[in-house]
């Protein structure tokens, strides 16, 4: 493992709009590059400009805790940060990858977030996060914390090939069970499922059942992107060693496009397979409203709930105005509460969406959205 120590100029990244997958506005990369060395990781793609050999070298932002302290300090900010989860993990480097055993940046930034009272959502593939259960529990007591694990499969043999330096899936799920028993909400991001390897109905059901047995609050699903260049070349080499001849099927599935997405028919089919299984097993497949409805502001609450409504209708093949309305509200410069009396004129929305928005603003909940979640996961 090659370590490149760097002094960063900034740490906290701000999304243009609240992220509906993780329900966060802010995130951070403590490390750039990742020695978990997942075969499918799109952080390997040229567009991310990660230095060194991806999977072997990693940049360590040694001043990350000090930077975060400065960026969160309200006396140094002209405009306060919006309420909501701060995301630790994802991006181009797992916060709990092997380098963190030495540098402990994850724990140190958690201490800063605890000081300033921010809720936290952690996404990782490492059981190393258990070492920080104490501080995560304190954050959960004061605000809220979620610990999520990313999985591509619950088959340990598959994981050893495609996620060679990660904790095994069974150990990740056991870690989530420990956090759940400690009263901390947990989730699984079943992404990316690997085409022709972990995307079958049987494999998806096995993963969802295992997550359910671990007691998680939600499972969020996603397919695999495969960008032309280093990412695709490396993945193809691993795939050829795992199952020779399978690469030709990928050539038909992935045509060259900027995002490396598979064809739409495949995308729709696997999402609907997952949704059917999740519904049959009674597990939420978006973050449940009860986990965020009371900790984000009115505008972000409306945006997330409309985004989630759009997702559920899209799964059912039903057109809806919800996604367009969410985008219009997110782009508007003023808080939704200031223009509540003129929603239709301001956003160009119809009567149905206006009624839903007024319900969310009045109650913090949405009856229509609640119908897509198990009863114990709904906003009250």
Beta bridge partners of 218: 187, 284
Percent of the chain beyond pLDDT 70? 98
Instruction: Look at residue 190 in the predicted model and tell me its pLDDT.
Output: 98
Looking at residue 199, its pLDDT comes to 97
Amino acid 63: pLDDT: 98
d(Cα 175, Cα 196) in Å, to the nearest integer?
28
Q: What pLDDT, on a 0 to 100 scale, did the predictor assign at position 75?
A: 86
- How far is residue 282's CA from residue 288's CA, in Å, rounded to a whole number? 13
In the chain, where the domains are located: 2-287, 295-377
CATH topology for the 295-377 domain: DNA polymerase; domain 1 (1.10.150)
Residue 49 has pLDDT above 80, yes or no: no
What is the token pair recorded at 45?
Answer: 């793609």
What digits encode the pLDDT tens for the residues 231-258? Answer: 999 999 999 999 998 989 998 999 877 8
Q: Does the pLDDT value for residue 52 go beyond 80?
A: no
Q: What pLDDT was estimated at residue 47?
A: 65
Over residues 123-135, the pLDDT tens digits come to: 999 999 999 999 9
**pLDDT of res. 1:** 72
Q: Residue 120, Cβ neighbours under 10 Å: how many? A: 22
Supply the DSSP string of 310-358, one letter for each residue.
HHHHHHTT---SHHHHHHHHHH-SS-GGGGGGGHHHHH---HHHHHHHH
Q: Give the largest Cα separation in the chain, rounded.
A: 62
Q: What is the mean pLDDT of the chain?
A: 93
State the residue for tokens 């405009």. Answer: 79
Per-residue model confidence as pLDDT tens digits over 95-134: 999 999 999 999 999 999 999 999 999 999 999 999 999 9
pLDDT average, residue stretch 165-177: 98
Q: What is the pLDDT of residue 380?
A: 59
* pLDDT recorded at residue 26: 95
Domain at 2-287, CATH class = alpha beta
Give yes or no for residue 28 having a pLDDT over 90.
yes
Percentage of the chain exceeding pLDDT 90: 82
pLDDT given at position 54:
82
How many angstroms separate the CA atoms of 149 and 166, rounded? Answer: 11
The pLDDT score that the predictor gives to residue 259 is: 85
- Structure pTM? 0.95
Q: What is the pLDDT of residues 261-287, one digit of tens each?
A: 999 999 999 999 999 999 999 999 999
Higher-pLDDT residue of 380 and 170 is 170
In this predicted model, which residue has the larger pLDDT, 90 or 304? 304
């Amino acid at each position: 493992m090659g370590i490149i120590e760097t002094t960063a100029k900034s740490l906290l990244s701000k999304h243009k709009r609240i992220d509906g997958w993780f329900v966060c506005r802010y995130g951070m990369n403590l490390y750039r590059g990742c020695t978990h060395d997942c075969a499918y990781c799109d952080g390997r793609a040229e567009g991310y400009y990660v230095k060194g050999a991806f999977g072997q070298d990693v940049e360590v932002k040694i001043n990350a805790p000090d930077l975060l302290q400065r960026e969160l300090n309200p006396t140094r900010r002209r405009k306060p940060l919006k309420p909501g989860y701060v995301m630790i993990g994802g991006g181009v480097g797992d916060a709990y990858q092997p380098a963190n055993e030495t540098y402990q940046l994850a724990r140190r930034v958690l201490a800063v977030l605890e000081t300033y009272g921010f809720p936290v959502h952690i996404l990782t593939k490492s059981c190393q996060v258990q070492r920080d259960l104490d501080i995560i529990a304190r954050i959960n007591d004061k605000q809220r914390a979620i610990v999520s694990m990313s999985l591509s499969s619950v088959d340990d043999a598959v994981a050893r090939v495609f996620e060679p330096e990660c904790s095994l899936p069974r150990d990740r799920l056991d870690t989530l069970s420990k956090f759940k028993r400690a009263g901390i909400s947990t989730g699984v991001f079943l992404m990316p499922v690997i085409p022709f390897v972990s995307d079958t109905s049987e494999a998806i059901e096995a993963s969802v059942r295992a997550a359910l047995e671990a007691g998680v609050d939600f499972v969020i699903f996603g397919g695999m992107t495969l960008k032309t260049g280093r990412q695709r070349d490396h993945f193809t080499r691993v795939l050829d060693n795992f199952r020779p001849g399978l690469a030709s099927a990928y050539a038909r599935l992935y045509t060259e496009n900027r995002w490396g997405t598979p064809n739409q028919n495949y995308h729709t089919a696997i999402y609907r397979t997952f949704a059917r299984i999740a519904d049959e097993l009674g597990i939420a497949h978006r973050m449940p409203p009860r986990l965020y409805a009371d900790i984000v502001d009115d505008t972000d609450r409306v945006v997330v709930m409309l985004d989630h409504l759009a997702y559920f209708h899209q799964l059912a093949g039903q057109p809806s105005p919800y996604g367009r309305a969410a985008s219009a509200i997110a782009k508007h410069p003023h808080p939704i509460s200031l223009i509540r009396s003129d929603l239709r004129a301001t956003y160009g929305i119809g009567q149905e969406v206006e009624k839903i928005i007024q319900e969310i603003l009045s109650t913090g909940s949405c009856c229509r959205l609640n119908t897509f979640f198990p009863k114990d996961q709904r906003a009250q």
